[in-house]
A and B are shown apart, each in its own frame.
Chain A
């Protein structure tokens, strides 16, 4: 069965530091896609970054990067030089298979608070 687990319920960091959020997943498929989304205080959910399972190189977008450890079924999100506006809930999600637009399996989220 597919499952995505985020063990950290909440994290608090100081501004301008680096934070890592953990995510582990379970899947039987050899091909899958991993995503991180962010939900702001207003409720808006926005896409941050994506890792395709067949790619060995860790994805990087702006100050977001991923630590993809396939043997451990782990996809950590790293935010460098955190800013106050990074405070949000971060969700890890997985999509299996090669068919298009199949549903995402979501973790329960990690709440990040960035303090000045």
Chain B
């Protein structure tokens, strides 16, 4: 079991460009979460899916962020028109029902 796989590990974009982050959850896990981590804000919840259906996106900045889970083997987080304040580590986690989270290593996004 390779764990939760996130690609790329590092991404550098210019201001205004689009960034797409990928997550492959652990096979058989029903829930997939996206978090953002910064020094100032800590771990911030963005959104989560259960059995591929979006359940709660209350943490997502409404205008430029979107997440999808087109199949049970991967989820994407897309940020349009990236801004310097979007620079952070984006973490994906998956879990079986009512169990602990298994985190990926994260994608470090740097917006120049």
List residues of chain A with CB under 8 Å of any chain B CB. 35, 37, 42-47, 50, 91, 100-109
Contact = CB atoms under 8 A, between A and B. Distances in A.
Interface of B: 30-31, 33, 42-43, 45, 48, 50, 55-56, 58-59, 89, 91, 93, 95, 97-98, 100-103, 105-106
8 contacts: A43-B106, A50-B100, A100-B30, A101-B30, A101-B98, A103-B45, A103-B48, A108-B42
A104 B98 contact: no
A6 to B, nearest CB: 10
B30 A104 contact: no
Do most interface residues of chain A lie in helix, strand or loop, or is the interface mixed? Answer: loop
Contacts of A37: 101
Nearest to A108: B42
B98 A100 contact: yes
B101 A104 contact: yes
Contact of B31 (A42, A46, A100, A105): A100
B97 A101 contact: yes
A4 to B, nearest CB: 10
